[in-house]
Chain A
Amino acid sequence: MSRRAIAVEFDLVSALGPDAETTWGALVTGQSGVRPFARFPAGPARPSNAAFVDGLEPGHGDTLVVQMLRPVLERHRHAIPSDAQLLLATTNGEIEYLERAVAGEPASAKDSVPTVLATKVQALVGLERPGVVVSAACASSTVAIAEGAAMIRAGEAESVLIVACDFVSEFVAAGFRSLGALAPDRARPFDRDRRGLSLGEAAGFLLLMDEHRARAEARTCHAEIAGWGVSSDADHITAPSATGQGLATAIRKALATASVDPRNVGSICAHGTGTRPNDAMELQAFARVFADAVPTYSVKGAVGHTMGTAGLVDAIVAVQSLTVGTAPPTAGLLEPDTDALTWVSASPQSCSPMVALSTNSGFGGVNSALVLRRCEAPR
């Protein structure tokens, strides 16, 4: 029997605030958490700006991702069933262990392997079963949500906890700098003069539950994860496909698994990194699938590119957007690029509150899409 996967609980910490509600409030009013950044030693690799979470203390007790995760998960621990299957999405997790070890400080690089973090999260939440790490570059958490929803639909699990986290490390900043991907000031997704991405950090969770159990436990239904699709460009290690074919395939798969007609999609939470190739590729993909422009936005000018957490942030924002029927503005957008005209806006856009699409792509050519449906929407 096919079952629906319901989002019954979620929260996150981002540069815009300590919880999802604060983050949403800042997003819809066009605020940005991208600001001057001075976490690690000054040098060419340190970005001048990044979207960082207030109050994190490097080198003091917990690693930075655990400092982000602990308060979020502890706030909701009572609502997370101990039999939930944990899927942890991250790209670099606790990479500071490796940074310290390589720099000759007392630390073990092996502790940076993400399966170690999964064991910590399992203990932090009090889950019965070991966690599984799902890593698919910057689409990691979208792929994890897709897998979690698929497990519930297939009856393999009754509840799945997707946890995602990544932080702005010297390691990651040096890498993105070396690729020339960082914006000199701030990410401006879909803008005519966009010049790169802003790094960001965030951590959070999404609890999915089989609809029957959710009903039996009188859980709040925030949205249904109605469809999902994942594909690979099989083309280039860093550059997205110029045609958007791979992402279009992922979107079509997601719409098909949700049995949703493209005309019924009310809004799109795009990956929208602010790099020229990514944003152009996404618009190509959207144009392949949708006959008319759909209200589209990116949150990365506001919360930065949160890497493995990006898909979780986007999914949560998409759920919030469905709840109120408003697509938040694209922070950083001044003048939409030619192909983005009529799709994106620097102001909030009203949209159909029934079905939303969320998309992410990542290094290695991975593409992913989720279809989220408002709970009371007709099937």
Chain B
Amino acid sequence: MTSPLDDGVPSARVTGLGWIAGGRFAAERLGLTGSFDDLSELRDELVERGILPAPIRRFAKLDDACRMASLVAGLALHDAGVACGGDVARDVAVLGTSERGCLETNRAFFADYLRHERRSGRGSLFVYTLPSIPASEVSMQFKLVGPTAWLGSADARGRLLLDRAEAMLRRGDSAAVLCFDVSESGGVGLLLDRAPDGPGPVADLAKVRRLAPSLATLEPIVDVVRRAFRA
């Protein structure tokens, strides 16, 4: 796809970025960091520190991709200074990506079905066997009512996600776009908007993209965004 950045029109900006990797987490604009042993412990810590406005609902029932997506989304939203949750709906789109979609949950669902001699699948597993469910889960947890979708590419999914998010902002599909790229062990989430002013430092996305060496995933932009926030 043609990058919408090539025509000189002002780019979107990153207003918040959160990541989880290797037992550590961060909210980059605010400079919050920490470590954890498992995701339940992380969820509890994020609630205690006021990073999550409320516990992630049904956390124990979610699959790993939904847990990770919800947590990095919570970090990114908090980092951007956006208070989400409760009954207040926000016009924020949610775009998710991942290397393997919902492969692990698909595997778990079908293995469980075969273990039960093909009598019945488990509905509580089946509902997570769609690649787009982590994005929908984020929309439910934080009451984000803009478009939601999972986008996949064998090429460069990080670039794809940013291209589509920028296009959505340019078209006015939503006021902001929350993007995430997750796996079972980690993820990156960032909030983009096009508003001219806002609290605290922001990172111009066009500059971020010029400085990021590769966008096969979203991970390479973390260091660049951190530097932009600190500048």
Contact = CB atoms under 8 A, between A and B. Distances in A.
A110 to B, nearest CB: 7
B136 A130 contact: no
17 contacts: A92-B106, A98-B106, A103-B114, A118-B152, A119-B154, A132-B153, A132-B160, A135-B150, A135-B152, A136-B148, A154-B171, A156-B2, A171-B113, A178-B120, A230-B148, A234-B89, A237-B133
Contacts of A99: 110
Interface of A: 41, 43-45, 85, 91-92, 95, 98-99, 101-103, 109-110, 112-116, 118-119, 129-137, 140, 143, 147, 150-151, 154, 156-157, 170-171, 174-179, 230-238, 246, 249, 362-366
B89 to A, nearest CB: 6
A150 B145 contact: no
A175 B111 CA distance: 12
B123 A44 contact: no
Given A150-B167, A363-B130, A110 B103 contact: yes
Contacts of A150: 167, 171, 173
A158 to B, nearest CB: 10
Nearest to B152: A133
Contacts of B155: 130
Contacts of B113: 45, 171, 174
Contacts of A91: 130-131
B4 interface: yes
B2 to A, nearest CB: 5
B136 A137 contact: yes
B210 interface: no
Interface in B123-161: 123, 126-127, 129-133, 135-137, 139-140, 142-155, 160
A65 to B, nearest CB: 15
B227 interface: no
Contacts, number: 193
A132 B173 contact: no
A154 B101 CA distance: 28
A376 B9 CA distance: 33
Contacts of A101: 107
B94 interface: yes
A179 B1 contact: no
B207 interface: no
A113 B164 CA distance: 21
B147 A143 contact: yes
A171 B123 contact: no
Contacts of A119: 154
The 9 closest A-B pairs by CB, nearest first: A364-B136, A175-B126, A174-B121, A230-B147, A133-B152, A178-B123, A130-B155, A178-B121, A135-B131
Contacts of B107: 98, 101-102, 109
A174 B114 CA distance: 10
Contact of B118 (A45, A135, A232): A45
A137 B135 CA distance: 11
Contacts of A151: 1, 167
Interface residues of B, number: 55
Given A44-B120, A178-B126, A102 B111 contact: yes
* B118, B129, B152 interface centre (most CB from chain A within 10 Å): B152
A324 B94 CA distance: 38
* A91, A99, A112, A115 interface centre (most CB from chain B within 10 Å): A115
Contact of B133 (A134, A249, A364): A364
A116 B173 CA distance: 29
A137 B145 contact: no
Contacts of B111: 102
A234 B143 contact: yes
A175 B121 contact: yes
Nearest to B134: A364
Given A114-B152, A175-B123, A232 B136 contact: yes
A156 B1 contact: yes
B180 interface: no
Contacts of A136: 132, 148-150
B127 A238 contact: yes
Contacts of B142: 234
Contact of B136 (A95, A110, A363): A363
Interface in B81-129: 89, 94, 99-101, 103, 106-107, 109-111, 113-114, 117-123, 126-127, 129
A156 B118 contact: no
B170 interface: yes
Contacts of A103: 114
A331 to B, nearest CB: 27
A143 B149 CA distance: 8
